[in-house]
Amino acid sequence: MRINYCGKVNQTILNSYVKLYGWVNKIRDHGGILFLDLRDMYGRTQLVIDSKKLDFTNFVLAKKLKSEYIIKVIGLIKLRPVKDGFTNKIDIFVIELNLLSKSIKLPFKLYAKKKIKEEIRFKFRYIDLRQKKYIKKILIRSQIIHKIRSFLDINKFIEIETPILSNITVEGARTFIIQSHKQTFALPQSPQIYKQILMCSGLDRYYQIAKCFRDEDLRSDRQPEFTQIDIETSFMNKQAIINVVEKMIKSLFKELLHFTFSSAFKIIKYTDAINKYGTDKPDLRVPIKITDIEDVIPQSLTCIFLNKLQKLTSQCNRIAAIKLKGGVCLSLKQIIKYISFVKLYGAKGLIWIKVYNINLGLNGLQSPILKHITDEVIHNLKKRLHLKNGDLVFCCADTINIVNTSLSVLITQIANDLKLYIKAWAPIWVVNFPLFKRDIVGTLTSYHHPFTAPTSTLDDIIYNPEKAFANSFDLIINGIELGGGSIRINDYKLQKIIFKLLGLTQRTLNNNFGFFLKAFKFGVPPHGGLALGLDRIVMLLTKSDNIRDVIAFPKTNKFICPLSV
């Protein structure tokens, strides 16, 4: 039985014999003595192989060892000697050596300073994972799963598995379809329907570490198959669910990072998040917000703003600005780069104003539209944006969506370029999302999914669906959406109305949701829940830039598994 691990052996068992298994990491040959670093998933230990203390056959074998050979050793633990005494490090003086497996030359160097191409790394993922930084991520992932299970078990949630092969339903993203034995199945985007049916069963505190599948475009935080922490509960309102999940997240940070949040997570309404940050995933580490300015500038200047950027015909438009403290140091070349950048997101450009001396009025400013600005405008902008000397203002005028998106990505780009991120953990709950949205062809779709309970009246839902809001909540930390949830619809008639508004025919309802709606006829408790992305939580807690680094065998952004092709 294996008892000891490299990196775990220490001074507490000095002068005793240990048995170790591992990979040869590095060899230093000093003739009659070899120094060898042995590596396993918990760290490294230095072995001392002395020709005077090891039999001839074993020493000859040791001389033939190469990097990544797998060996077993038995040795005596000693403090490492130095010129003036001993260090606090230990060495293992080998008395027995066995070669367990050889290795051919690796396709790339472990711990190489030069970045290895991701495609090569993933093709030889079993080698890639030998690196300490990736082993650590996988170990932390395991700890996170264990701690989540422990937390939910203590809070009387029960773990229940739901089907992988299920009926085709409509949940938002594209679905992977499987055909076998003349049957058609869908891989689950989430256990959404099954966990709601469990609430109808009276199993009122459910959780699952669930495998989910979504046929969607891949980004740095997405995979076609992923793992989510799925939670559903009955007889708890939105705030109660938020409290439980927040407590769980706080416990992970405390136990794994030794970090304690000093207060409850902030809560912001969706509309406020969009107005202030241009996104429903605000990163509170960036000290820049979006401010409306249309109402503080005269109509004549409004026309100049619009004509300068884009003459709008839509009634839905927005004129907004962001303020960059100390931004006057930006060169014209940098400003032009940002103007070109926002054009990638639909904006027609930006108006910029540098504030050198706010007390000098127009004489203290620099801007391409300076001749159109009056002292009244400067006064109004100063008051609205709290302008000070050294500030740079960027203004954008266009449709609401284009302004929000353009200024949001501009804030992120500026923060990255100028290193404006505050070193902190910045969690926030975004609540009360729209119930519906329009897709690119104008079809009404669910903002999240069709099972979310509304906060709006039935008349508003039916006659003005785009103005209806949901009893929903997303958890964001440092701009990363960890997951989201909602209170669910628990009324048969209301659920059918929502389906009808989404354009689902009676035939579709019968074929895809008949079993679900039938369960509603037998009584449905008030219930709600959420799903958190396990991969994203691991990515956040390990400070990884890419979700693929925290998954043992990830797909590339082309849906390919390089290891198996």
270-316 pLDDT, tens digit each: 999 999 999 999 999 999 999 999 888 766 665 555 555 554 434 44
What string of pLDDT tens digits covers the 565 residues of the chain?
688 899 888 888 888 999 999 999 999 999 899 999 999 999 999 999 999 989 999 999 999 999 999 999 999 999 887 655 545 688 999 999 999 999 999 999 988 778 888 889 999 999 999 999 999 999 999 999 999 999 999 999 999 999 998 877 765 567 888 888 888 888 888 999 999 999 999 999 999 999 998 887 766 667 888 999 999 999 999 999 999 999 999 999 999 999 999 999 999 999 999 999 999 999 999 999 999 998 887 666 655 555 555 544 344 478 999 999 999 999 999 999 999 999 999 998 899 999 999 999 899 999 998 888 888 888 889 999 999 999 999 999 888 999 999 999 999 999 999 999 999 999 999 999 999 999 888 899 999 999 999 999 999 999 999 999 999 999 999 999 999 999 999 999 999 999 999 999 999 899 889 999 999 999 999 999 999 999 999 999 999 988 999 999 998 877 888 888 8
How many secondary structure helices (H) and strands (E) does the chain include? Answer: 16, 22
Q: Tell me: is residue 536 an annotated ligand-binding position.
A: yes
The three-state secondary structure class of 178 is strand
Give the pLDDT confidence score for residue 314 in this predicted structure: 46
Under 8 Å between Cβ of 224 and 216: yes
Q: What is the CA radius of gyration of the chain?
A: 30
Under 8 Å between Cβ of 353 and 308: no
Under 8 Å between Cβ of 278 and 407: yes
Tokens representing 334?
């940098």
In angstroms, the Cα distances linking 122 to 45, 118, 557 are: 27, 6, 12
Q: Tell me: is residue 534 an annotated ligand-binding position.
A: yes
Nearest to 536, CA basis, from 460, 475, 463, 486: 475
Give the pLDDT confidence score for residue 559 in this predicted structure: 80
d(CA 120, CA 442): 42
Q: Tell me: is residue 448 an annotated ligand-binding position.
A: yes
pTM of the model: 0.90
The amino acid sitting at 226 is F
Looking at residue 235, what DSSP letter applies? S
Pairing of strands 365-366, 392-398: unpaired
Looking at residue 141, what DSSP letter applies? H
The amino acid sitting at 424 is A
Tokens representing 252?
């992970």
Q: Tell me: is residue 533 an annotated ligand-binding position.
A: yes
Q: Tell me: is residue 466 an annotated ligand-binding position.
A: no
Q: Tell me: is residue 442 an annotated ligand-binding position.
A: no
Under 8 Å between Cβ of 389 and 353: no
d(CA 482, CA 505): 34
Nearest to 166, CA basis, from 178, 149, 148: 178
Domains of the chain in start order, with CATH, are 11-105 (2.40.50.140), 133-164+192-271+426-550 (3.30.930.10), 286-418 (3.30.1360.30)
Query: Which helix (DSSP H) or strand (DSSP E) does residue 208 occupy?
Result: strand 205-213
Under 8 Å between Cβ of 484 and 472: yes
Query: Which helix (DSSP H) or strand (DSSP E) does residue 501 occupy?
Result: helix 492-501
Q: Tell me: is residue 40 an annotated ligand-binding position.
A: no
Q: Tell me: is residue 214 an annotated ligand-binding position.
A: yes
Q: Tell me: is residue 488 an annotated ligand-binding position.
A: yes
Q: Tell me: is residue 159 an annotated ligand-binding position.
A: no
Under 8 Å between Cβ of 59 and 51: yes
